């Protein structure tokens, strides 16, 4: 979650030159070339037999020209990727306070169970009679999600949060079309994730921004002012991206429903309330759940995720296929929209097959380990940890909505940096030198120079004490005008600041073979 509004994208000052070594390496840190520079096309790290001579049946489409792919032997491959990995920060190695992204501990039991052949080595189109355990697992995970959301149905196939948003908003559009209504507006608070307006726009809706009131939450009266018969839905994140619970949400839901529209909830922050508050009790019609944020499946450097969507009674008939339906003879698995029993009117199919099974296994392993009691405790600890960070920094850094309780993340702005010449980005980069991944910066957009800190429940008190002591030291340095510590940061990372402008102006998106040198 990062927005670059108002931030510099140039590399910044170079600072001190790096100490020279012959290799460019620095002890454990190895400069690693691209596979295209170290691989050879004839080398392979996989031993395969050459098939005996046979007549090809390719209809004359045999590939003859070289592809250009490099190969590495197994030891070279291992070394290449191990070296690359050591240039990455990770939650396993340290606190990762990315607000709204929820970097919590990823239990290895999840990984182990997802790799059991009975889950990992089953095909999505083998006969359903040969995969009863897979269907039972999907049913059990659905049951958990239904209980946790207090909503009657859940679509399991969406592939990630944004895909879940699309699914939910499609169900809303389908429900309106079934009523013979074409509405054209979707209300989105200014603090929303970028995926919300992007999703609404994809479905042809005009996005109308709803400003927050001074305390950072959406005012029911403001929503009412925007409500017309042309509004299809409001997309609300609760807790919102400022880390605050939308306390008017039930009232908002009532007035949205009275106008014949729907409430979409972005469940990115469900980890703050799981086991404590059920979105169904707040009047939500559809909410996606990020299994990779809330239920500990790994983020893997940008996915895969999984984004099941829970539906209210009004939207449940429009849930996509495939879906599980309860029939006379127990649960039935419906793969074709036409096969769904009435009153179901599935909106269609969102992707091939059944969804992110590997993520389902991981998420269920996490839920079963915690139990309902443990999930509630995890939510409470996440909220407590965030408030502890807030309380530990409130005297030095500024809080845009006052020093009052937050949910799972604490939002600071850059007002306290005024006059120091130091920006939010500088502060974030200085954290890197201290061994921390920065918090989410410049998001949400409603706050200037935002710094959004989400420690999650995975951090111990000792870990938070050191983290807040570090931020306090940095904050004091900033206030003293020690610009040196910030302007050149990071100094000790594998790279100094990158020239992002150059990357965008002259995009180099792939390796290309070096051009033959021109004769001098």
Partner 1 sequence: MRYLPLTDEDRAEMLARVGVAGIDDLFADVPPDVLRRDLPDLPHRRSEVEVERALGRLAAENVAAGAVPFFVGCGAYRHHVPATVDHLVQRSEFLTSYTPYQPEIAQGTLQYLFEFQTQVAMLTGMEVANASMYDGSTAAAEAVLMAHRITRRHKAVLAGNLHPHYRDTVATVSRLADHEVVAAPPAPAGEEGLIGLIDDSVSCVVVQVPDVFGHLNDLTALAARTQAAGALLIAVVTEIVSLGLIVPPGQMGADIVVGEGQSLGNSLSFGGPYLGLLATRQKYVRQMPGRLAGATVDAEGQRSYVLTLSAREQHIRREKATSNICTSSGLCALAFTIHLTLLGEAGLRRLARLNHARAVALADALTRVPGVTVLNRAFFNEFTVRVPGDAADVIERLARAGVLGGVPFSRLEPRRRELSDLVVVAATELNTDEDAAAYAAALTEVLAC
Give the Cα separation of 269 and 241 in Å (integer): 8
Nearest Cα to Cα of residue 164 among 189, 145, 147, 177: 145
Q: Where are the beta strands (DSSP E) in 100-220?
A: 153-155, 185-189, 206-210
Q: Is 204 in the site for partner 1 (CB under 8 A)?
A: yes
Q: Is 116 in the site for partner 1 (CB under 8 A)?
A: yes
C-alpha torsion angle, residues 144, 150, 156, 162 (rounded to 10): -120
Site string for partner 1, 221-240 (x = CB under 8 A): --------------------
Give the Cα separation of 394 and 402 in Å (integer): 9
Give the Cα separation of 202 and 196 in Å (integer): 10
Number of chain residues interacting with partner 1 (CB under 8 A):
218
Q: Is 150 exposed, middle or buried (0-12, 13-18, 19+ CB in 10 A)?
A: middle
Contact pick of 121, 395, 517, 520 for partner 1 (by CB under 8 A): 121
Contact pick of 19, 509, 518, 519 for partner 1 (by CB under 8 A): 509
Site string for partner 1, 398-417 (x = CB under 8 A): -------x-x----------
Nearer to partner 1, 495 or 520 (CB): 495
CB proximity list for 147: less than 8 A, separation 6 or greater: 372
Site for partner 1 in 300-339 (CB under 8 A): 300-306, 320, 335-336, 338-339
CB of 390 to partner 1, least distance (A): 8
Q: Give the pairing of strands 309-311 and 153-155.
A: antiparallel
Report residue 247 as tokens.
């306390």
CB of 519 to partner 1, least distance (A): 26
Nearer to partner 1, 201 or 469 (CB): 201
Nearer to partner 1, 313 or 480 (CB): 313
- For residues 253 and 283, the answer to whether their CB atoms sit within 8 Å is yes
Nearer to partner 1, 387 or 480 (CB): 387
Contact pick of 179, 213, 225, 247 for partner 1 (by CB under 8 A): 247
Nearest Cα to Cα of residue 237 among 266, 276, 208, 258: 266
Sheet holding 410-412, edge to edge: 410-412, 451-453, 440-441
Give the Cα separation of 412 and 454 in Å (integer): 11
- For residues 435 and 89, the answer to whether their CB atoms sit within 8 Å is no
Q: Is 30 in the site for partner 1 (CB under 8 A)?
A: no
Return the H-helix or E-strand segment holding 90. none
Q: Is 432 in the site for partner 1 (CB under 8 A)?
A: yes
Site for partner 1 in 132-191 (CB under 8 A): 132-134, 136-137, 140, 144, 147-148, 159-163, 165-166, 170, 173-174
CB of 74 to partner 1, least distance (A): 6
Report residue 294 as tokens.
């809330």
Site for partner 1 in 337-396 (CB under 8 A): 338-339, 347-359, 361, 364-365, 368-374, 376-378, 380-381, 383-385, 387-388, 390-392
Give the Cα separation of 281 and 290 in Å (integer): 20
CB of 412 to partner 1, least distance (A): 16
- For residues 251 and 234, the answer to whether their CB atoms sit within 8 Å is no
C-alpha torsion angle, residues 469, 475, 478, 483 (rounded to 10): 50
CB of 343 to partner 1, least distance (A): 19
Site for partner 1 in 433-472 (CB under 8 A): 437-438, 443, 457-461, 463
Nearer to partner 1, 355 or 400 (CB): 355
Stretch that binds partner 1, among 255-263, 324-332, 414-422, 493-501 (CB under 8 A): 493-501
Nearest Cα to Cα of residue 337 among 352, 321, 353: 321
CB proximity list for 495: less than 8 A, separation 6 or greater: none
Site for partner 1 in 40-99 (CB under 8 A): 40-46, 48-52, 54-63, 65-72, 74, 77-78, 80-82, 84-93, 96, 98
CB of 479 to partner 1, least distance (A): 22
Contact pick of 395, 510, 518, 519 for partner 1 (by CB under 8 A): 510
- For residues 411 and 440, the answer to whether their CB atoms sit within 8 Å is no
Stretch that binds partner 1, among 259-267, 325-333, 411-419, 508-516 (CB under 8 A): 508-516
Nearer to partner 1, 81 or 480 (CB): 81
Q: Is 288 in the site for partner 1 (CB under 8 A)?
A: no
Q: Is 486 in the site for partner 1 (CB under 8 A)?
A: no
């Amino acid at each position: 979650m990062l927005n670059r509004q108002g931030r510099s994208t140039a590399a910044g000052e170079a600072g001190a030159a790096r100490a020279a070594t012959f290799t460019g390496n620095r002890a454990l840190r190895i400069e690693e070339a691209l596979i295209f520079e170290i691989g050879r096309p004839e080398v392979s790290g996989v031993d395969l037999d050459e098939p005996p001579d046979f007549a090809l049946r390719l209809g004359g489409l045999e590939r003859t020209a070289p592809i250009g792919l490099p190969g590495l032997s197994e030891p070279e491959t291992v070394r290449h990727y191990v070296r690359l990995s050591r240039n990455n920060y990770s939650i396993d190695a340290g606190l990762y306070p990315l607000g709204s992204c929820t970097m919590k501990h990823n239990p290895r039991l999840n990984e182990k169970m997802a790799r059991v052949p009975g889950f990992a080595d089953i095909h999505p189109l083998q006969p359903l009679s040969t995969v009863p355990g897979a269907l039972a697992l999907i049913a059990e995970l659905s049951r958990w999600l239904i209980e946790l959301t207090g909503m009657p149905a859940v679509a399991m196939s969406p592939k990630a949060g944004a895909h879940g948003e699309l699914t939910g908003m499609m169900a809303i559009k389908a429900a309106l079309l079934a009523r013979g209504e074409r509405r054209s507006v979707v209300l989105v608070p200014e603090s929303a994730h970028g995926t919300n307006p992007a999703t609404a726009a994809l479905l042809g809706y005009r996005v109308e921004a709803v400003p927050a009131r001074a305390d950072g939450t959406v005012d029911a009266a403001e929503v009412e002012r925007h409500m017309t018969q042309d509004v299809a839905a409001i997309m609300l994140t609760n807790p919102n991206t400022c880390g605050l619970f939308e306390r008017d949400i039930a009232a908002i839901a009532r007035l949205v429903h009275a106008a014949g529209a729907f409430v979409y909830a972005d469940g990115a922050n469900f980890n703050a309330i799981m086991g404590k508050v059920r979105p169904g009790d707040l009047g939500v019609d559809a909410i996606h759940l990020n299994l990779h944020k809330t239920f500990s499946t790994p983020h893997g450097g940008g996915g895969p995720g999984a984004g099941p969507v829970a539906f209210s009674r009004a939207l449940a008939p429009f849930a996509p296929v495939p879906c599980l339906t309860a029939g006379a003879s127990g649960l039935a698995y419906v793969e074709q929209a036409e096969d769904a029993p009435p009153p179901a009117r599935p909106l269609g199919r969102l992707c091939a097959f059944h969804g992110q099974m590997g993520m389902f296994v991981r998420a269920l392993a996490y839920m079963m380990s915690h139990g309902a009691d443990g999930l509630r405790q995890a939510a409470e600890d996440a909220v407590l940890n965030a408030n502890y960070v807030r309380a530990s920094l409130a005297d030095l850094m500024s809080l845009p909505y006052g020093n009052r309780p937050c949910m799972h993340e604490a939002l600071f702005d850059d007002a306290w940096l005024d006059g120091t010449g130091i920006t939010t980005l500088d502060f974030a980069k200085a954290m890197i030198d201290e061994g921390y991944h920065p918090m989410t910066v410049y998001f949400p957009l409603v706050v200037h120079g935002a710094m959004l800190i989400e420690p999650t429940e995975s951090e111990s008190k000792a870990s938070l004490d050191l983290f807040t002591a570090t931020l306090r030291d940095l904050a004091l340095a900033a206030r003293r005008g020690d610009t040196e510590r910030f302007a050149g940061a990071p100094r000790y990372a594998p790279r100094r600041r990158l020239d992002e402008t150059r990357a965008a102006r002259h995009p180099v998106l792939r390796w290309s073979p070096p051009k033959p040198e021109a004769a001098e």
